[in-house]
Structure 1
Amino acid sequence: MNVRVADGADEWAQVISESFVPLSLAAACETFQGTARQSILQPGLTVTEVRTRGPSIVTRTLRLTRTEPRDAYIFSLHLDGAGAVVQGEREAPMAHGGGALYDAARPYRLVFPTDTWEIVLQVPHRQLRERITRAEEICGRALPAEHPATRVLAVFLRELSSVSTQLDAAQRAELGGAAVDLLATALRTLAGDGHEAPAGRQALLAAMRAFVGENLTDPRLTPEVLARRHGISVRYAGELFAEAGTSPAAYIRSERLRAAHRALTDPQQSHRTIAGIASTLGFTDRTTFTRAFARRYAVTPTQLRTGRTDSL
């Protein structure tokens, strides 16, 4: 853990610029003091406990974004005192236990009229954009402290910051990824679809699997639709399915083939044609369906329906 202590405005300007991104201190009282305790979780991914005594205004100016560009989002979890994040035309007052996301690639202002205590998570753009597709729309909006997802995130970040010195590098990296997952889940409450985004990689994978099962007959179901429906990138969806030994496209096709097998062996659906079953499940080409089915079950759809199960 890297601990930086500042006694005065000039020292604090240097501390916050070294801890986060290049910043200016627009205002601070003469007796200002600050402390930043930072842990590196992954390259570019850090968690920092920040405590200040005295009012201050921190700015990332347009000049700094041009001369010192940074590819990062910053999330401030506000634990004590008064504060607000201003980015673009939005101003997000931060209540105790709430917070706000802001983009280091664009100008912003942090206003702290009192002593403050915060936990700050800095995340590379790529990591958050893989998990939530509308991050830019959320910047500068207050994350409500009372929302269950925010409460879970707050507890996790406080504990992660507190125990980070007791973790080895691999553990910090793994828990850092979990922190970004939880942040994305909480931020989806602002994007309007938080109720569909459970925390954690396995929960998100389970939600996507369930969605596939519920929409097998929709011909528009593709990996792109699946990822967009769950507010993540196609790349991140691919990573989640890869951990389960498959891919989004392969999983969709596999589940459609399973549904076709059930239909073909169901006496109550014996009146349906093979082509009709295939078409209903998104297979528009009979030959493609037959080949895929035979590779999966070692019999053609016709052989299965007629009871001829000898190997091909």
Structure 2
Amino acid sequence: MGTLVARSADEWAQVITESFVPLSLGSVSGSFRGFVRSSRLGPSATLTEVRTLGSSVVLRSARLVRTEPRDDCLFSLHLDGTGVVVQDGREAGLACGGGALYDASRQYELRFPTDTRQLVLQMPREQLRDRVGRVEDMCGRALPARHPTVRVLAAYVRELAVASDGLTGDQRAELGVTAVDLLATALRAVAGSGDALPAGRAAVLASMKAYVRDHLADPRLSPEELARHHGVSPRYTAELFAGDGTSPAAFVRAERLRAAYHLLSDPRYAGLTVSAVAARCGFSDRTTFTRAFVRTYGRTPAETRAGQAREF
């Protein structure tokens, strides 16, 4: 997308709300200007370059959390200037080349006393939860620029921001998954878990769940494809999911239906037809989708959409 420019506090509040999550301003300097440029990295993430001239304080208040809930996590990679992320009673100073994670499901504050430039990686909270566990334990903590894993993450995110315009949609989606993986590795390492991934079956299962959520729109997604991608047998794949109380096919179907319910319930997607929602969530035909949706939610997709419309 093109660059969005704000020349006043009101314009900046609108730009950052549209670009990230609903936000308000605590203060901005009189000569403030802001610039935002975003690139969608498939369903896994969005990468946004933010530049500000002048000081500012950005708030995700308790009222906004309550009235306009979001379930996204955001990671700010700081490139120029100074800043602070405040969440859960913790303050993370933003040094050049380092960053911090914050969670839109809870209130936070971003303080920028100088001109700044940063790259913000935004993703659904579940993407990180499957990779690192308790996301809330990692918010409001600085990821120092000197840490080896943070250096790798920062170099990758910088290059991705530069190259994204020249990539296809599929390429951006694949590289977006890698960006989230690198962030998870850095978060675990800085939190003291070391560089190693979680061991054994739990790691493979977490990776499989993340892969499913990243590829819901692909109608070819199947237990066999899941096993092939991870280099294990279908039988082993079934055993992993059985240990979690489900099956690969049931997990894929449940995630697709959950994604469809979200699209049907969110007024931002009111322009999508039911057939389009079904296709976006990996269902090959509307009849199959409707039957599965009714079995899970007790009402049709159209009734769900109508109920959402009445609430607004």
TM above 0.5, yes or no, is yes
Match of 1:70 in 2: 70
Please give the residue correspondences for 1:295-306 in structure 2 after superposition, counting only pairs within 5 Å.
none
Is contact 1:186-1:194 (8 Å) kept? no
Offset at residue 72 of structure 1 (A) = 0.4
Cα distance in 1 for partners of 2:117, 2:21 equals 19
Matched, 1:92 2:92: yes
Matched, 1:26 2:26: yes
Unaligned runs of 5+ in 2: 213-224, 240-312
Offset at residue 227 of structure 1 (A) = 5.8
Unaligned runs of 5+ in 1: 198-207, 213-222, 254-312
Match of 1:235 in 2: 209
Moved more, 123-132 or 17-26: 123-132
Gap change, CA 1:242 and 1:135, over 3 Å in 2: farther
What is the number of residues matched between the two proteins? 227
Offset at residue 245 of structure 1 (A) = 4.1
Matched, 1:35 2:25: no
SS of 1:49's equivalent?
strand
Matched, 1:138 2:138: yes
Please give the residue correspondences for 1:1-312 in structure 2 after superposition, counting only pairs within 5 Å.
1-43=1-43, 45-197=45-197, 223-224=201-202, 232=206, 235-236=209-210, 242-246=228-232, 250=236
Cα distance in 1 for partners of 2:184, 2:18 equals 26
Runs (4+) of structure 1 moved beyond 6 Å? 237-240
Cα distance in 2 for partners of 1:233, 1:175 equals 16
Cα distance in 1 for partners of 2:210, 2:53 equals 41
Cα distance in 2 for partners of 1:164, 1:37 equals 11
Cα distance in 1 for partners of 2:100, 2:234 equals 32
Offset at residue 10 of structure 1 (A) = 1.1
Gap change, CA 1:4 and 1:240, over 3 Å in 2: same
Cα deviations by residue, 1:57-100 (Å, 9 ceiling, x for unpaired): 00000000111111100000011101000001101011110000
Offset at residue 241 of structure 1 (A) = 5.5
Cα deviations by residue, 1:78-133 (Å, 9 ceiling, x for unpaired): 11101000001101011110000000000000000000000000010111112111
SS of 2:97's equivalent?
coil
CA RMSD, 1 decimal: 2.5
With normalisation by structure 1, the TM-score equals 0.67
Is contact 2:44-2:176 (8 Å) kept? no
- What percent of counterpart residues are identical? 56
Offset at residue 134 of structure 1 (A) = 2.5
Match of 2:296 in 1: none
Is contact 2:189-2:195 (8 Å) kept? yes
Q: Which amino acid aligns with 1:167?
A: L
SS of 1:117's equivalent?
strand
Match of 1:217 in 2: none
Is contact 2:208-2:226 (8 Å) kept? no
Gap change, CA 1:247 and 1:38, over 3 Å in 2: same
Gap change, CA 1:130 and 1:10, over 3 Å in 2: same
Q: Which amino acid aligns with 1:250?
A: Y
Q: Which amino acid aligns with 1:235?
A: K
Cα distance in 1 for partners of 2:82, 2:26 equals 17
With normalisation by structure 2, the TM-score equals 0.67
SS of 1:40's equivalent?
strand
